[in-house]
Amino acid sequence: MLEYIWLIPFLPMVGAIINGLLNRRLSHAVVNTIACGSIFLSFLLSVGAFFALTRLEPAARFHEVNLFTWIAAGSTEITLGYLMDPLSAVMCLVVTGVGFLIHVYSVGYMHHDDGYARFFTYLNLFCFAMLTLVLGNSFLVLFVGWEGVGLCSYLLIGFWFSDMEKATAGMKAFVVNRIGDFGFLIAMFLIFQNFGTLNFREVMNAAPEVLIYGGFTVTAICVLLFVGATGKSAQIPLYVWLPDAMAGPTPVSALIHAATMVTAGVYMIGRCNIIFSMAPTAMATVATVGALTALFAGTIAVTQNDIKKVLAYSTVSQLGYMFISMGVGAYVAGIFHLMTHAFFKACLFLGSGSVIHGMHEEQDMRYMGNLRKYMPHTFITFLVATIAISGLPPLAGFFSKDEILWMAWSNGFKFQWALGFIAAGITAFYMFRLVFMTFYGKERINPEVHPHESPATMTVPLYILAGLSIVGGFVGIPAALGGLNHFHHWLAPVLDASSAHEAVKHAAMMVGDGGLAVTSALASGAEHAAAAGHAAAAGHHDLTEYVLMAASVGYAIFGIAVAFFLYNRRPEIPAKVADSAKGLYNLLYNKYYVDEIYGAVFVQGCVNLAVYLWKFWDVVVVDGFVNGLAKVVAMAGSVLARFQSGNVQAYAVSIMVGAVALIFLVAAF
Applying CB under 8 A, the residues found at the interface with other proteins are: 68-76, 143-144, 147-148, 151, 158, 161-164, 166-167, 170-171, 174-175, 178-179, 181-182, 185-186, 189-190, 192-193, 606-607, 609-611, 613-615, 617-618, 622, 643, 645, 647-648, 650-652, 654-659, 661-663, 665-667, 669
Nearer to other proteins, 458 or 626 (CB): 626
Beta carbon nearer to other proteins, 148 or 397: 148
Q: Which is nearer to other proteins, 546 or 643 (CB)?
A: 643
**Long-range contact pairs involving 452-455 (C-beta distance under 8 Å, separation at least 24):** 452/358, 452/374, 452/375, 453/354, 453/358, 453/374, 453/375, 453/376, 453/377, 453/378, 454/108, 454/109, 454/354, 454/357, 454/358, 454/375, 454/377, 454/378, 455/108
How far apart are CB 75 and other proteins at their closest, in Å? 6
Q: Closest approach of Cβ 5 to other proteins, in Å?
A: 20
Phi, psi for residue 494 in degrees, rounded to 5: -95, -45
Q: Where are the beta strands (DSSP E) in 428-468?
A: none
Best CA proximity match to 32, nearest among 121, 97, 99, 96 = 121
What's the distance, CA 599 to chain centroid? 22
Shorter beta-carbon distance to other proteins: residue 171 or 516: 171
In the complex, what is the shortest distance from the CB of residue 253 to other proteins, in angstroms, rounded to a whole number? 19
Residue closer to other proteins (CB basis): 202 or 542? 202
Give the shortest CB-39-to-other proteins separation in angstroms.
Answer: 21
Whichever of 142 and 495 has its CB closer to other proteins, that residue is: 142
- DSSP label of 453: P
Between 582 and 615, name the residue whose CB sits nearer to other proteins. 615
Residue 74, number of CB atoms within 10 A of its CB: 5
Least distance to other proteins, CB of residue 665, Å = 4
What is the smallest separation between the CB atom of 445 and other proteins, expressed in angstroms? 32
- Shortest Å, Cβ 147 to other proteins: 5
> What are the residues facing 138 on neighbouring strands?
199
Closest CA to 154 of 167, 165, 164: 167
Q: Which is nearer to other proteins, 71 or 561 (CB)?
A: 71
Q: What's at 118, amino acid-wise?
A: R
Min separation Cβ 114 and other proteins, Å: 12
Q: Which is nearer to other proteins, 74 or 447 (CB)?
A: 74
Dihedral over alpha carbons 426, 427, 430, 434 (to 10 degrees): -170
Q: Please give the single-letter amino acid code of residue 291.
A: A
Peptide bond into 394 cis (omega under 30): yes
Is residue 323 within 8 A of residue 416, CB to CB? The reply is no
- The minimum distance between CB 157 and other proteins, in angstroms, equals 11
User: Among residues 489 and 615, whose Cβ is nearest to other proteins?
Assistant: 615
C-alpha torsion sign, points 409, 411, 416, 420 = negative
* Closer by beta carbon to other proteins, 72 or else 575: 72
Contact by Cβ (8 Å): 317, 236: no
- In whole angstroms, the minimum distance from the beta carbon of 3 to other proteins comes to 22
Among residues 277, 281, 278, 282, which one has the least CA distance to residue 228? 282
303 burial class (0-12, 13-18, 19+ CB within 10 angstroms)? buried
Q: How far is the CB of 485 from other proteins (least distance, A)?
A: 38
Q: Which is nearer to other proteins, 79 or 552 (CB)?
A: 79
Q: Are 329 and 614 in contact (CB under 8 A)?
A: no
- Provide, for the chain, the percentages of residues in helix, strand and coil under a 3-state DSSP scheme, each rounded to the nearest 5: 75, 5, 20
Q: How far is CA 424 from CA 263, 346, 421, 529, 556, in A?
A: 19, 19, 5, 23, 7
Smallest gap from Cβ 11 to other proteins, in A, equals: 18
Beta-carbon count within 10 A of 492 CB:
18
User: Of 24 and 373, which has the nearer Cβ to other proteins?
Assistant: 24
Q: How far is the CB of 77 from other proteins (least distance, A)?
A: 9
9 neighbors 132 (Cβ within 8 angstroms)? yes
